Amino acid sequence: MTRAQFDRDNVIKKSIKLFWERGFSASSMQQVVKSTGLKPGSIYLAFGSKEGLFREALGAYAQRSIESIREVLDNEKSIGEGICKILTRYVEESTKKDYCSCFLIKTQLELAAEGNELYQIAAAKLNSIEDLYRSYLEREFDPDLSRLRATSIMLHIFGVRVYGYQQGSAKRMHEGLRTGLPWLPWPPLD
């Protein structure tokens, strides 16, 4: 008997979309099968379980997020300008009607009461993102200040990601970010 061939990255992308929109608990195995186009046996063989697929989806999403942050921070004039650009992009994303928040943050919120392995994975991925901000900030600030500022950035990101779509919220979020992170070199508001 031969193993079914499929594009693993494509299956993970489709799974991210499903889990991101519905969450882990609300995504049935039937929905996973429909979304990925795989038969249950192929999913179990390739990923071990729905949890295994979810774990890989979290990892892939986090990796994509880290690469996106690095790309911005590596290509801006300063770390501060890069952070402003990232935060502005998050505000713009969050004000769209089809906004779906952040997959890692949604996972933490969904699974917080359980504190299970999936919750721990999402928390660890978010800690990795905070560490990434800290490492970039240390290029311009001392380690203690960089750690505090990285934590502050993450708190603001959580707020933007959870605040989400509300009519007229972009202006308020921009003002809130500027008030909460006054040390960043914000461009003038339009």
**Per-residue pLDDT at 143:** 98
Of residues 64 and 102, which shows the higher confidence score?
64
What residue spans define the domains of the chain?
Answer: 57-180
User: At 18, is the pLDDT very low, low, confident or very high (cuts 50, 70, 90)?
Assistant: very high
3-state SS string for the chain: CCCCCCCHHHHHHHHHHHHHHHCCCCCCHHHHHHHHCCCHHHHHHHHCCHHHHHHHHHHHHHHHHHHHHHHHHHHCCCHHHHHHHHHHHHHHHHCCCCCCCCHHHHHHHHHCCCCCHHHHHHHHHHHHHHHHHHHHHCCCCCHHHHHHHHHHHHHHHHHHHHHCCCCCHHHHHHHHHHHHCCCCCCCCCC
pLDDT in tens, 88-128: 999 998 888 777 788 899 899 999 988 799 999 999 999 99
pLDDT digits over 31-58, tens only?
Answer: 999 999 998 988 999 999 999 999 999 9
Q: What is the pTM of this model?
A: 0.90
